[in-house]
A and B are shown apart, each in its own frame.
Chain A
C-alpha cells in the first residue's frame, strides 16, 4: 500500500505521540520516585520543597534560574556551586550566595545532570494532597468547644437557691397575711419574723433541740472536712500561656519525656524546656492551621525568631520570656527530688504524672484514680500530691537491690542484714519496700 506523502507525516506524528504517552506512563512514575529518593538522600536536610530553610525551597527553583536568564546553569550550580560562583559567569549564583549570607552549599559532583533534573522535576510536581481531615498526627479538635470547668459549685445552683428562698419567704408571707385576714384579731405588727420564730421554737422545744444538735454536729463535720481539703491539688489545671498538647509531642511524634524535661535524671527538678528546645523543631514546624499557627507564633516571639525575614526567617535577638503557670506545687517544707526517684527509685514518669501521651490539654495534677488506670502503675488510694500518697507509695514500692546500680541502697541493705530478726520480718511479704529501707523517716523529706 502506498501512503501519500502528506499522510505519512501524520502517521509518524501519531506514532510519536503514542510513543511519548507510553514513555510518559511507563517512565514518569519511576523517574518521579527516583527524584524523590535523590531529594531525600541529598537535598532534604537543607532544602524543603515549599519553604525556604537552610537553603532556598526547591519548588520553582528551575523557574527562578530561567527567569534570571541562566536556566542552563542550574545543573552546574547544583553539581559544584563553588566553581560556578568563582567562575564569575553567573549573576544568579552570586545573588543566591549573598541572599543566604554566605552559607556554603555542599558540592555534589557525583550527581549527574539527569539526576539534577529528576530532583527538580520532583520538586516542581504538585504534592500528593492527603485526604482532608486525615492529616497525620493531628487530633481532630474543635477550638470552638469550650473547655469544661470543674471544681466549685456552679452558679446555676446558687441562682436556684435564691429562687427557692424567695419563694419560701413569699409563700410564708402570704400565709401570715391570710392568717390575720381570717382571724378576728388585729394584726400584731410589733412581732417580727425572728420573734415569731422564737415563739414557734419554744412551743416545739423537743424537735428544735434535736434539729439544732444535728445542725451543729453537721457543721462541725463539714468544717473539718473542708479543712482536710485545703491544698488538695488533684485536677489542678492552671491556664497556660501556650496551649501545649503533650499528646502531639510525646504521643504522635514520639519525643521522649527527657528530651524536654532534660534535667530529670540529674537534678531535683525535672526541668522546664527553654524556648531554644522548642525551636529545635518549631523553626521548621509553624503549624498546620490557624489555631496552631497562633500558638506557635508565641514561641517565635519568645525566641526572637522572625519568620518573615527573607529568605527563611532569622533570629532578631529580641527575646521575651514565656511565663508558664506551675502545675505541681510543693511547699518548701517538703523536699522532693526527681533524680532520686527516676534514677535510684527507677520510677516511671507515668506513676505520678499519668500517661501524658494521651493528654491533649495542658498539664494538670492527675487524680489518683486516673493514675491507677495507667498500665504498670502501682495502685494507690490517697489523693495525688498529698503526703498520704507519698508514704503510701514508699510503703508499697519494692526497691531493686543487689544489681550494683545504687550504692546507697546496697549499703543500707547490708546494714539491715545485721539485724536478722527485723530483716526476716521485713521479708515476710516477699519484698523490701522503700519504707523498710528508711523511706518513712521524717527527715527524708522534711528538714
Chain B
C-alpha cells in the first residue's frame, strides 16, 4: 500500500514539474497553425530561412536576407530619361581616406580629394519648382532635421538634448558658398562626422534635398534660381 502511495506521489509530482517546461520560449512567437504556410520558399526580407516547409537548413539559420545588391547594379526607375540619367552611378568616387573614416569597404576609391573637385559640379540636374521644395521639406524633416535643425542652424533635437555636438550652421558664408556638387557629395558619402546617406536616400532624393537646403540659405531661391549658373533653369 505504502509503495503505491509513493509511486502515485512520485508520478504526480513528475507530471507537475514537467508542465512548466511547456511554457513557451520567450524568443519564440508561439505555436503556428500551419507551419508550412508560414515561410515562403521565395526569399523575403527579414524572414529566417533556417526552416522552410519543415526542412531545416543549418547554414541558412539566422542569416540575413537583407543583403546589399551586387555592385554596379542599377535599380529600375522607369522610362523617364532625365530621371534615369540622374540615377546612374555617381561619377565621383569616395576619397581613399574614407576607407577608415567612413567605412567604405570593397569599393573603388580615389586618390584625389574628390570633395574639392566637386566644386566644379555646379549643376543640380533636378528641375526646380515648388513641388520639389515641398518634397524636400518632407524629406528634410525626416532625414536631416534631428541634427541640422528645422531652420538649418545646426540646432536639431539631437544637439539640444546634448547627445551630439558639432553640427554646422547652413547659414554661414563658407557653407552658403559651397557648390551644389559638394553638397551632394557630402550627403552621398558623408563628411567629417556625418556618415554616408546613400543607403537611405536615392540620388533624386539627395538632389531634392540640395534644392531644399539652398532654399533655406537663399530666401528668393525658388524665384531667382539663386546664384544663376548653379541651378538648371526650368
Residues of chain A touching chain B, judged by Cβ–Cβ distance below 8 Å, are 41, 44-48, 53-54, 101-104, 106, 135-137, 149, 151-153, 155, 158, 161-162, 165-166, 169, 173, 189, 192-193, 230-233, 236-239, 252-259, 262, 267-269, 272, 274, 276-277, 279-281, 283-285, 303-305, 309, 314-315, 317, 319, 321, 323, 325-326, 329, 331-333
Contacts and interface: CB of A to CB of B under 8 A. Distances in A.
A192 B157 CA distance: 77
B166 A41 contact: no
> Could you tell me the dominant secondary structure of chain B's interface residues?
loop
In the A-B complex, list the 6 residue pairs whose CB atoms are closest, starting with the nearest: A254-B157, A152-B23, A280-B195, A314-B100, A136-B162, A256-B142
A58 B36 CA distance: 61
Contacts of A326: 46-48
A41 B169 contact: yes
Contacts of B157: 252-255
Contact of A314 (B45, B62, B101): B101
Contact of B8 (A193, A268, A309): A193
Contacts of B45: 267-269
A239 B28 CA distance: 10
Contact of A284 (B37, B145, B165): B165
B54 interface: no
Contact of B192 (A45, A173, A272, A321): A45
A256 B146 contact: yes
Q: Which of B28, B161, B164, B172 counts the most chain A CB atoms within 10 A?
A: B161
Nearest to B195: A280
A262 B200 contact: yes
Contact of A48 (B29, B40, B165): B165
A149 B27 CA distance: 12
Interface in B1-57: 1, 4-5, 8-9, 12-13, 16-17, 19-20, 23-24, 26-34, 37-40, 44-48
A45 B175 CA distance: 12
B64 interface: yes
A53 B26 contact: no
Nearest to B62: A323
A331 B38 contact: yes
22 contacts: A102-B97, A151-B24, A152-B23, A162-B13, A166-B9, A166-B13, A169-B8, A233-B30, A239-B26, A253-B157, A254-B156, A256-B141, A256-B145, A269-B46, A274-B199, A276-B199, A304-B103, A305-B103, A315-B103, A317-B105, A325-B27, A331-B37
B23 A153 contact: yes
Given A158-B20, A259-B200, A276-B103, 13 more contacts: A104-B113, A158-B16, A165-B12, A192-B4, A231-B33, A238-B26, A239-B27, A252-B161, A254-B161, A279-B195, A281-B158, A326-B48, A332-B47
A279 B105 CA distance: 15
B16 A165 contact: yes
B193 A54 contact: yes
B197 interface: yes
B167 interface: yes
B163 A137 contact: yes
A280 B225 CA distance: 32
B146 A254 contact: yes
Contact of A254 (B101, B103, B158): B158
A149 B45 CA distance: 30
A153 B194 CA distance: 49
Contacts of A323: 62, 64
A285 B39 CA distance: 38
Nearest to B4: A192
A359 B117 CA distance: 45
A135 B165 CA distance: 15
A161 B27 CA distance: 27
A429 B194 CA distance: 51
A232 B28 CA distance: 12
B102 interface: yes
B118 interface: no
Nearest to B167: A45
Contacts of B193: 45-46, 53-54, 283-284
B29 to A, nearest CB: 5
Nearest to B1: A189
B12 A315 contact: no
Contacts of A255: 146, 157-158
Nearest to A323: B62
Contacts of B8: 169, 193
A23 B145 CA distance: 41
A303 B103 contact: yes
B174 interface: yes
Contact of A258 (B24, B143, B163): B143
A269 B4 CA distance: 60
Contacts of B200: 259, 262, 277
B196 interface: yes
Contacts of B227: none
A135 B66 contact: no
B232 interface: no
A209 B154 CA distance: 79
B168 interface: yes
Contact of B194 (A161, A162, A258, A280): A280
